[in-house]
A and B are shown apart, each in its own frame.
Chain A
Amino acid sequence: MSRQNYLVSKSIDVRGVSCPVNAVRAKQAIAALSDDELIEVIVDAGESLIRVVRSINDAGFKIITSHPLENAVAIVVSRVNTAGRPQ
């Protein structure tokens, strides 16, 4: 079984944007989505990725999948968290 692909309608690139502005911009873009839309957030690997993912989780948005890029990661996110985050 291989990882699924998703149809993404929007994209935001926050590479090179320092914390916490990268997370703020990503969250603003996610918040502007409609319920059935997915956005791709491209963020630098390392500490930026950790901060942005934590921020997206805390805001209650849902990370669907991700793809590693060179020194960066593309995260696919939906605004609505239908599945919820078990914890």
Chain B
Amino acid sequence: MSNSNPELAALGKVGMMRQTQPDYYVMRLKAVGGDLSSGQLARIAEVAERYGRGGVHLSTRQGVEIHYVRSQDLEPARIALAEAGVEMGACGPRVRSIVACPGSETCRLGVIDTKPIARELDARYFKQEMPSKFKLAVTGCSSNCTKANENDIGVRGAIEPLWEPASCTDCGLCVSFCPVSAIGRRDGEGSGGEFRYESDEESCINCSVCSSLCPSGAWVVGRKGYTVLIGGTMGRIPRFASVLKRIVESDEELYALIEASIRCYREHGLKKERFGHMIDRIGLENIKEEIIEQAELPRVEKY
């Protein structure tokens, strides 16, 4: 934004919103995955002090907002923030800031490294125009701290457990600690006629409790990857996301599915219609089929 006195209509595109109070504006700042350096925080504090009223508002999408900025101060404030590498957020029918939990880098429960994915999604899609607002979240495991199923696209770390009979001491604890009672013990059904433990694929939430808690290490991670969720929203008409694919093992497939989902929404989504409501209008199975088919096609474009 080189214009020092930007048009009001254009403000939303760059993360600035009018307040209730005449001539006061909100500056919405971007923090991908909730990350800001101490230097950036110091600059935000300076700008809030100089151009706002010395306070900030922490948004629900891990961002920071500076309130009570006058219109003539928006551009100098933006420049001061940009100098410290603090970018403006997004408003309106666009891809919003990408939310992410700390993930496996620091969290003991994390199954996937969330931050690089959040940064990649930010680089690919942030601020792009969409039929309605569009939110993406990455969460490291089924604890779901960043609420992947409340976002238009959610990526959640997931494992598929595998039972290794040779290590099993038949302590039975897995049957008790599985949070969704997906694990059962079958007597006389093993290969040699002895016991067997199994996890029901349908009810398993791919959470890694069994593989991380099994006292004898008999439950191990069979497959590890991402659960991709589509169509979540917690707006006026809430809708939990639907599972597009339960375990995606490669980054390549992950990004192909997300790209195909976004293309599908751009093609079929009505103005102001959220992705999830579009899915309900057209039918989940049709949409899933289209997205998965599109994701499998080779793409000429290179990012």
Contact = CB atoms under 8 A, between A and B. Distances in A.
Q: Do A and B come from one complex?
A: yes
Given A1-B187, A62-B215, A75 B173 contact: yes
B187 to A, nearest CB: 7
Given A1-B194, A64-B171, A65-B171, A73 B215 contact: no
Nearest to A4: B170
Given A1-B188, A62-B215, A83-B216, A50 B171 contact: no
A53 B173 contact: yes
A73 B173 contact: yes
Interface in A1-53: 1-4, 45-46, 49-50, 53
Contacts of A75: 173
Contact of A68 (B169, B175, B179, B216): B175
Nearest to A52: B177
Interface of B is mostly: loop
Nearest to A72: B176
Contact of B213 (A50, A64, A73): A50
B176 A63 contact: no
Contacts of B175: 68
B184 interface: no
B187 A63 contact: no
B173 A66 contact: yes
Interface in B189-223: 194-195, 209, 212-213, 215-217
A86 B216 contact: yes
A61 B209 CA distance: 18
A46 B209 CA distance: 12
B72 interface: no
A54 B179 CA distance: 14
Given A4-B170, A45-B176, A87-B217, 15 more contacts: A1-B187, A3-B170, A3-B172, A49-B176, A50-B209, A54-B213, A63-B171, A65-B169, A65-B172, A66-B172, A66-B176, A73-B173, A73-B176, A85-B216, A85-B217
18 contacts: A1-B187, A49-B177, A50-B177, A50-B179, A53-B173, A53-B215, A54-B213, A65-B170, A65-B173, A66-B172, A67-B172, A68-B172, A73-B176, A83-B169, A85-B215, A85-B216, A85-B217, A86-B167
CB-based closest 9 A-B pairs: A63-B215, A86-B217, A66-B173, A73-B176, A65-B171, A1-B194, A66-B172, A53-B213, A49-B177
